[in-house]
Amino acid sequence: MSRHALTAAVPKDRLEEQVATICGAHAQVMSAAEISIGLRVAGITRADVRSSLWEGRSLVKTVGPRGTVHLLATRELPTWNLVLGEAVQQPGFPADVRMTAKQTDAVLAAIDEALADADLTVDELGAEVVRIAGAWAGDRVMPAFQEFWPRWRQALGTAAYRGVLVYGPNRGARTTYASARRWIGRVGAIDAEQAGRDVLHRFLYAYGPATPDIFARWIGATPGWAREQFRRAVDDLERVDVEGDELWQLRGDDAPPATRRSRGAIRLLPYFDAYSVGGHPRERVFPGKASERALARSQAGNTPVIVADGLVIGVWHQKRSGAKVALTVEPFRELTRGERQGLDEQVARIAEIQDATASLTIGTVTAGPHA
């Protein structure tokens, strides 16, 4: 929790550094990403996160670990792209749906050309890709959300990992895509093996001790790929025993003792917060009732959680209406006096991050995942 800045928030000038430390903030739900970062960086609001993203560009919105949308530190994007392009398993499609390597290259070239001078919505980008690459790219054969998307869209993740595109600012409610080269500039050559080692170091610093299988699950790769990364970095690692489990950590990276401040610290973590998603072994981080209420087939993140002393002890939900946000918090055990005070502070902080006023109800959360 200390390394995630969940025991004590870091100063505002360390915003980008803290996002890098946790290996990026999940941003499929942008408001959740803003809360995730805001809880870790003292005094900021969502406006500061947006400024870092769209004005200062020290953060970039792109396709990250597991093929999901993330905010990453811009300076680390080339390293992440190189590693994720090799590691992340792309969705499998039948032979009549998936693109050949030649078709993929054609789509990437078309995307690069289309985004050279302007940010485009997905429909605008699709029209340009079809115009440049050919009508085949627009065939609606890709199953997605009870409909069929055009063939070219299966290359979006690859386009991000190859440094062709990133997300641009929303146009109203619509997502846009931008040229990565135009957005962050050209990137020099990177050593692939060193990049893999750097990402593994980042992961173990924030989420270790861990196993190759945990790393594979977190990044979205095969266990074999992850084991190879551990093998290459073996001189940097050491085995440790954690309550009977044999895990790996960075050599000499012993965790500091819990501080007085960290004991009893309570946090309201939003959807897909990095701490929740990276928390393993699941049965330890999500003990008892938490595993039933906050996990979906061992997947974390679908439900906002209450964390105390590093463990999930409840769930929560918020409903926004204009400048007001109503929070319902459901602890699975009785809170201590200090935790109850900390809960009030968290509610106030979440409201501050969102430029809102908040009300708190302690009771049963009836909303389902993603509600």
**pLDDT 10s digits, 7-26:** 999 999 999 999 999 999 99
Which residues lie closer than 8 Å to 67 by C-beta, 6 or more apart? 88, 90, 91, 157, 220
Q: Are residues 239 and 165 in the same domain?
A: no
For the chain, the average pLDDT equals 93
Q: Which residue has the tokens 């946090």?
A: 267
Q: Are residues 153 and 202 in the same domain?
A: no
Range of the domain at 228: 192-250
Q: Are residues 53 and 179 in the same domain?
A: yes
Domain assignment present for residue 367? The answer is: no
Above 70 in pLDDT, residue 261?
no
pTM across the whole model: 0.94
Instruction: Report the b/e string of 49-85 with b at 16+ CB within 10 A.
Output: bebbbeeeebbbbbbbbbbbbbbbbbebbbbbbbbbb
Q: Are residues 232 and 329 in the same domain?
A: no
Which residues on neighbouring strands pair with residue 147, listed in sequence order?
Answer: 144
Nearest CA-CA partner of 364 in 324, 308, 317: 317
Average the pLDDT over 322-339 and give the result. 96
H helices of the chain, in order, are 15-21, 30-40, 46-50, 77-87, 101-114, 122-133, 156-161, 180-184, 192-207, 212-219, 223-232, 274-278, 282-285, 289-293, 337-353
pLDDT confidence bin for 144, thresholds 50/70/90: confident
Q: What is the pLDDT of residue 264?
A: 60
Q: Are residues 180 and 318 in the same domain?
A: no
pLDDT confidence bin for 336, thresholds 50/70/90: very high
pLDDT confidence bin for 257, thresholds 50/70/90: low
Q: What is the pLDDT of residue 371?
A: 64
Output Rg (C-alpha) for the chain, integer angstroms.
21
Q: Are residues 278 and 221 in the same domain?
A: no
Strands 311-321 and 305-308: antiparallel
Q: Lowest-confidence range among 81-95, 182-196, 248-262, 293-307?
A: 248-262
Domain assignment present for residue 261? The answer is: no
Tokens representing residue 97 in the block: 């749906």
Q: What is the pLDDT of residue 263?
A: 55
Strands 357-362 and 324-331: parallel
Q: Which residue has the tokens 């400048």?
A: 323
Q: Lowest-confidence range among 74-83, 114-123, 182-191, 292-301?
A: 182-191
Q: Are residues 237 and 279 in the same domain?
A: no
Domain count, the chain: 3
Q: How far apart are CA 78 and CA 184, in angstroms?
A: 10
pLDDT confidence bin for 96, thresholds 50/70/90: confident
